[in-house]
Each structure stands twice: as structure tokens, then as C-alpha cells.
Amino acid sequence: MTPHEEKQLLLRVVTRLAATLLPEGGFKTFGAVLVLGPNRKVVLVRPKFVKKGATRQELDTYWAKELKRFALSKHGQTVCWCCDAVLIQEAGSAIPAVLVHIEHPKAYSEDMLYPYSIYDSQASLKAPTIDAAAYHVFTDT
């Protein structure tokens, strides 16, 4: 698989999971590692402890350590973490969004914000806003 294909696979899994959890009252932050090989799989990583209302910096620090450990032990090169967030528009209004930070050591580190709405107990994620981001997990690349 190319790094782009790995990214698409991991995003497909985590955004589906997020969309499933959102109508149930949102979700706690979680991470994921794509493990390649004959039995390609996505390993979900639940946080041991993340305080409610954690800042972006606290999440970056926590997930950098946890995902690096999982990536090394599982031989994964594509990792991400996501959380239920709020996107503040220029006019000051708040829009609910799913934030995904995704990294591959040789290809990308990006932040993706997926605005969403919930109607009739179904979450609908809109097209994401994508920004290049600093590496946190694969800092030696």
C-alpha cells in the first residue's frame, strides 16, 4: 500500500467509528494504528487517562507518547488520534467537528476537521478542512 492508501484506510475506519459514537452523546478521544502485513488491521487505542476538557497541547503530548509506543510494538507507520471538538468560525459561531490528527513518517502529518451534524440519530460528517501539521509521533523523521 502507498502512504496515501494507508491514510485513506485509517481515516475510513476512524471516521465511521466517530460517526457511530456521535449520536450516542459524543465520544472520548481515541487513537488508532494501521498495522500492515498479511492480516492488515487497524488497532484502536483507548486512553488510559485523559482529563475531560483536555487542551490540544495536552492531547498532542499524550497521544505522541502512546501512539509511538503502539506504532513501534505493532510495526505501524500510519497513526492517528481523534476527538470530538468545536470549530469556531470567523463570525464567532461554534460548529461541532471531529478532529483527526494523522501521521505517516515519510509522507504527511495533517490535522483534519470534519464538521458534523446529527439528524434523526444519524451523524453526518461533512468534507474536512485539511491543514499540514507538525509531527508529534514520528518526531525523528
The string of DSSP codes covering 119-132 is ETTEEEEPPPEEEE
Enumerate residues 6+ apart whose C-beta is below 8 A from 136: 60, 61, 63, 64, 101, 103, 109
Q: Which residues of 82-109 are buried (b: 16+ CB within 10 A; e: fewer)?
A: bbbbebeeeeeeeebbbbbbbbbbeebb
Pairing verdict, β 122-125 and 129-132: unpaired
Structural domain boundaries of the chain? Answer: 3-132
Q: Are 6 and 78 in contact (CB under 8 A)?
A: yes
- Give the pLDDT mean for 60-70: 92
What are the pLDDT digits (tens) for 4-54? Answer: 999 999 999 999 999 999 998 888 899 999 998 777 889 999 988 777 788
Prediction pTM value:
0.92
